[in-house]
């Protein structure tokens, strides 16, 4: 039986980070899928594992670990396998800089758009009383606000516009950085690339006018290189929703500026 | 290796980096800049993306062999890797995870609150022509709001709650230890750097918190922090604030 248990949703955003890191390291884990759209993460069984009700959480050696990026650093340090952090201290600084930027600035903007077009509509048709009861069970007040907004479609025009501005700027920054080196933060594949792929794997589909082979050739090269890795293929094969199956866009040899089918 | 640190008063992010630099006994050229006047944005490398788009707000910049590094906790990790003396992060992976998670909470929840309250009490004032030089539009917007005295009652109240929560976590954590991670670490420095100035601004959060009070004194007495505080140009460095990280936009 594996010594690691991972509670996760789809290979997407925060859940996908430790999933892919574990698979790159070759660490077997007991996968416990939580259906975010069914509010599994706020049910008593999971709150007994992680009282904050956030996904993912990892069990190892009788301890519970949370916070996806910090879990990835733990996975890198606690297990044998290919190195996912560069040797050079300055490269490691760059890995962490990019992960923070994506976790706290760029990611929430992608996420606001994703929640408004996928998560909100996916649950909106359910019984309002059932939804309200589910929201009331969310331990963190900030998450209650986020869920209410997503479900009722209450993101303001100003908020959405700011998120779109940040996504456009983030894409420009990623393209610029990936023009300088093969991987995001250093000359080797690292946790920053795992983090970035979870954020951007469907970029040419979700933002076709901002990211394609003509406008952002380096981002596309980078996404395809990560998708070509066996661990990535195995990880994304665990996906169950249409959200994650969008990764197939990367199988197209050329993605132009025009509308994507 | 040639290191230059551009830093402000020893408070907040500048204190974390200055103290780490001293603890790790690294020779570096120190260059003072007034973060409360926005002087970071007039530096020659201010428009490098990993400086301009740092989400820490107004923090120090470490230049190593021509590359400019921002974000105080990650600069501290870098200095811990390359410097001398005792390690400032635990060696064991779980304890390292605890350290990074603790710092993330400070970065994401405590720092924005402390900077917001600090700027309300001691407003920074950018020099003429500086705001136009700020590449990050959201950072520029925060400067404009603060300089116009626009503080939201809701965010001020929430910031005080965040300081209370941080001190509660400290008090609980210190129940069986002198230092947050067992040995003196970056987590102590980062927590002290953001909270030392809050004792005067949110005194009720620190009331009857004897372990936290003793820890604050213990951190202040370390040679690294004492040395960093001795670099202050003002009588009260803990009253020196500039625009900090963004308060969480949503969720």
Residue B62's H or E segment, with its range, is: strand B61-64
Pairing of the two strands B29-32 and B3-7: parallel
Total residues belonging to chain A: 261
First to last CA, chain A: 43
Tokens of B167: 């001190």
Q: Which of A21, A65, A70 to mutate to test the interface with B (most CBs of B within 10 A)?
A: A70
- Three-state DSSP class for residue A8: strand
B77 interaction partners in chain A (CB closer than 8 Å):
92-93, 96
Q: What residue ranges do the domains of chain A occupy? A: 4-78, 89-251
CB contact under 8 A, A73 and B107: no
User: Contact at 8 Å (CB) between B184 and B90?
Assistant: no
Give the closest of A74, A145, A162 to B93, CB-based.
A74
Q: Which residues of B touch A147 (CB under 8 A)?
A: 251
Q: What is the pLDDT of residues A151-186, one digit of tens each?
A: 888 888 999 999 999 999 999 999 999 999 999 999
Of A167, A3, A175, whose CA–CA distance to A79 is shortest? A3
Smallest CA–CA distance from B53 into chain A, residue:
A101
Encoding tokens for residue A200?
Answer: 């951007």
Domains and CATH numbers, chain B: 1-244 (1.20.1050.130)
Distance between B203 CA and the closest CA of chain A, angstroms: 25
Q: How many CB atoms lie within 10 A of CB A158?
A: 8
Sign of CA dihedral B62, A96, B104, A118: positive
Distance from CA of B251 to the nearest CA of A (A): 4
Cβ of A77 within 8 Å of Cβ of B138? The answer is no
Q: Which residues of B touch A61 (CB under 8 A)?
A: 94
Do the chains contact at A69 and B78, CB–CB below 8 Å? no
**pLDDT tens for the 261 residues of chain A, in order:** 789 999 999 999 999 999 999 999 999 999 999 998 888 999 999 999 999 999 999 999 999 999 999 999 999 999 999 999 999 999 999 999 999 999 999 999 998 888 888 778 888 888 888 888 888 888 888 888 888 888 888 888 999 999 999 999 999 999 999 999 999 999 999 999 999 999 999 999 999 999 999 999 999 999 999 999 999 999 999 999 998 999 999 999 999 886 544
Grouping H, G, I as helix, E, B as strand and the rest as coil, residue B48 is coil
How many Cβ pairs closer than 8 A exist between chain A and B? 91
Helix (H) / strand (E) element for B29: namely strand B29-32
- The reported pTM is 0.96
**Under CATH, domain A4-78 is a member of which superfamily?**
Glutaredoxin (3.40.30.10)
Which fold, A89-251?
Answer: Glutathione S-transferase Yfyf (Class Pi); Chain A, domain 2 (1.20.1050)
């Amino acid at each position: 039986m594996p010594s690691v248990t991972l509670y996760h949703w789809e290979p997407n955003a925060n859940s996908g980070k430790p999933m892919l890191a574990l698979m790159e390291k070759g660490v077997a884990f007991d996968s416990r899928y939580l259906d975010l759209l069914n509010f599994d993460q706020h049910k008593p069984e999971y709150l007994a594992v992680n009282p904050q009700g956030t996904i993912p959480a990892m069990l190892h050696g009788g301890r519970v670990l949370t916070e996806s990026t910090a879990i990835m650093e733990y996975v890198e340090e606690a297990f044998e396998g290919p190195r996912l952090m560069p040797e050079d201290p300055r490269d490691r600084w760059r890995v962490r800089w990019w992960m923070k930027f994506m976790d706290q600035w760029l990611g929430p903007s992608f996420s606001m758009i994703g929640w408004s077009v996928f998560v909100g509509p996916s649950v909106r048709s359910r019984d309002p009383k059932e939804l309200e009861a589910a929201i009331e069970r969310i331990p963190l007040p900030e998450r209650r606000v986020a869920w209410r907004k997503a479900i009722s479609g209450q993101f303001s025009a100003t908020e959405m516009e700011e998120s779109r501005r940040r996504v456009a700027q983030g894409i420009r920054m990623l393209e610029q950085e990936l023009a300088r080196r093969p991987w995001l933060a250093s000359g080797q594949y690292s946790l920053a690339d795992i983090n970035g792929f979870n954020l951007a794997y469907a970029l040419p589909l979700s933002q076709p006018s901002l990211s394609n082979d003509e406008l952002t050739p380096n981002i596309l090269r980078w996404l395809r290189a990560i998708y070509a890795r066996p661990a990535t293929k195995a990880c994304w094969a665990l996906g169950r929703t249409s959200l994650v199956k969008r990764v197939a866009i990367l199988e197209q040899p050329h993605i132009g500026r025009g509308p994507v089918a | 290796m040639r290191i230059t640190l551009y830093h402000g008063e020893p408070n907040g992010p500048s204190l974390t980096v200055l103290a780490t630099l001293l603890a790790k006994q690294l020779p570096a050229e120190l260059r003072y800049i007034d973060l409360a006047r926005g002087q970071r944005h007039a530096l020659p490398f201010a428009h490098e993306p990993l400086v301009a788009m740092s989400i820490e707000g107004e923090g120090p910049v470490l230049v190593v062999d021509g590359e400019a590094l921002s974000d105080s906790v990650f600069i501290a990790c870098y200095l811990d890797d390359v410097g001398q003396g005792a390690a400032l992060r635990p060696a064991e992976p779980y304890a390292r995870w605890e350290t990074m998670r603790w710092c993330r909470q400070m970065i994401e929840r405590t720092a924005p609150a402390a900077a917001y309250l600090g700027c309300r009490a001691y407003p920074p004032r950018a020099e003429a022509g500086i705001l136009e030089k700020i590449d990050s539009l959201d950072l520029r917007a925060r400067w404009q709001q603060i300089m116009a005295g626009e503080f939201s009652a809701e965010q001020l109240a929430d910031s005080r709650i965040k300081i209370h929560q941080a001190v509660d976590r400290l008090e609980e954590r210190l129940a069986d230890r002198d230092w947050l991670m067992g040995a003196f670490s970056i987590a102590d420095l980062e927590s002290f750097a953001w909270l030392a100035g809050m004792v005067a601004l949110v005194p009720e959060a620190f009331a009857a918190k004897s372990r936290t009070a003793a820890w604050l004194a213990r951190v202040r007495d370390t040679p690294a922090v004492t040395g960093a505080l001795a670099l202050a140009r003002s009588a009260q460095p803990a009253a020196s604030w500039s625009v900090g990280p963004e308060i969480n936009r949503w969720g």
